[in-house]
């Protein structure tokens, strides 16, 4: 099989963004595989983007690649033809399955490694960023698993910035009778999430045991407002938007409800937590994964409101 690799330098910040957003490449057929890597530990801000294709990338595709990493605007990409090989399999081999508590997230090549009794989700290698291979997503899975082990029960769940849909699917697997809604500011992400729902037999709809998917920023969509307040709200985005959304999430989460925030560096965690303390949340848990932090916050209860129950 003919295959090609396009390589561009990028910054560490650009690489981190690409772990959650590979649009518009998700619309290509077949979807190319994007991999980012650190070039030299002595230069931590210098990273590299490699994109694998089944055919030689066109000029338009090269332009799209450069738009993903603006720092490469004046750089000529390196494009090479690879020896005949199954490049999809090779790229998937580099994406080891993720096991977080009862969850197992894998690419198609790892189907024969599924452990007995796990909650399993399959995401194609071309969509691998944001599927659990990134520390923040894996950390969110770990917190969801802990909440279930603690006996928490949730009736209304929202996943804001859903990406591939993996966190919404995971929450649905743990609380199958809940009403779940998943949104993303990027229409392409919602298309990918819908495809992944079909692959993983997740039902799309507005009823109990189904997930409603829509394009929206924050809680701006009327459907998100109509279904609020939420017992559980998950937002794996970036620190800046999370701080801006603190008042909105403060109104969108029910008293006694749970808020899981991710996408923030460890050094940003205090500022994010402070913004939410000012909006009636208390920090219940901080999980560190590498340079990243995942925060679990609880909305302060008010008299006369029944909080999310425990089993």
**Measured distance CA(139)–CA(57) in Å, rounded:** 35
For residue 239, give the nearest of 275, 264, 217 by alpha carbon.
264
101 among annotated binding-site residues: no
- 196: number of Cβ within 10 Å: 23
Give Cβ neighbours of residue 87 (< 8 Å, ≥ 6 apart).
1, 3, 33, 52, 54
Chain position carrying tokens 């848990």:
285
- Read off the DSSP letter of residue 200: T
Q: Please report, for residues 18, 77, 141, the alpha-carbon distance to residue 71 in angstroms, rounded to integers and kept in the order given.
A: 13, 12, 32
Tell me the HSE value of 79 on the side-chain side, using a 13 A CA sphere: 17
- Read off the DSSP letter of residue 30: S
186 among annotated binding-site residues: no
Q: Please report, for residues 12, 37, 43, 50, 84, the alpha-carbon distance to residue 40 in angstroms, rounded to integers and kept in the order given.
A: 11, 9, 5, 15, 29
Q: Which two tokens stand for residue 87?
A: 């490049």
184 among annotated binding-site residues: yes
Q: Which two tokens stand for residue 46?
A: 């210098």
What is the three-class DSSP state of 17? helix
11 among annotated binding-site residues: no
Strands, E assignment, 152-291:
156-160, 179-184, 211-215, 230-236, 253-265, 281-289
Feature table: binding site:
137, 161, 184, 236
Feature table: binding site for S-adenosyl-L-methionine:
137, 161, 184, 236
């Amino acid at each position: 099989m003919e295959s090609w690799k396009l390589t561009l330098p990028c910054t560490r910040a650009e690489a981190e963004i690409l772990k959650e957003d590979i649009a518009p490449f998700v619309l290509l057929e077949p979807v190319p595989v994007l991999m980012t890597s650190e070039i030299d530990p002595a230069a931590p801000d210098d990273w590299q983007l490699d994109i694998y294709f089944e055919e030689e990338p066109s000029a338009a595709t090269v332009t799209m690649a450069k738009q993903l990493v603006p720092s490469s605007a004046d750089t000529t990409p390196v494009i090479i033809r690879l020896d005949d090989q199954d490049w999809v399999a090779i790229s998937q081999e580099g994406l080891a399955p993720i096991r977080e508590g009862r969850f197992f997230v894998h690419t198609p090549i790892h189907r024969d490694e599924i452990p007995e009794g796990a909650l399993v989700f399959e995401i194609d290698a071309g969509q691998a960023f944001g599927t659990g291979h990134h520390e923040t997503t894996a950390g969110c899975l770990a917190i969801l698993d802990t909440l279930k082990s603690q006996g928490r029960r949730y009736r209304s769940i929202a996943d804001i910035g859903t990406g591939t849909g993996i966190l919404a699917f995971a929450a649905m697997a743990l609380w199958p009778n809940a009403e779940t809604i998943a949104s993303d500011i990027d229409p392409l992400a919602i298309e990918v999430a819908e495809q992944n729902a079909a692959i993983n037999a997740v039902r799309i709809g507005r009823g109990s045991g189904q997930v409603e998917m829509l394009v929206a920023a924050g809680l701006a969509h009327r459907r998100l407002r109509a279904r609020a307040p939420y017992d559980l709200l998950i937002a794996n985005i970036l620190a800046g938007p999370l701080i801006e959304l603190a008042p909105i999430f403060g109104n969108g989460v029910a008293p006694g409800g749970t808020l899981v925030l991710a996408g923030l560096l460890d050094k940003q965690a205090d500022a994010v937590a402070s913004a939410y303390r000012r909006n009636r949340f208390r920090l219940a848990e901080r999980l560190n994964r590498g340079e990243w932090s995942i925060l679990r916050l609880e909305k302060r209860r008010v008299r006369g409101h029944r909080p999310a129950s425990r089993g």
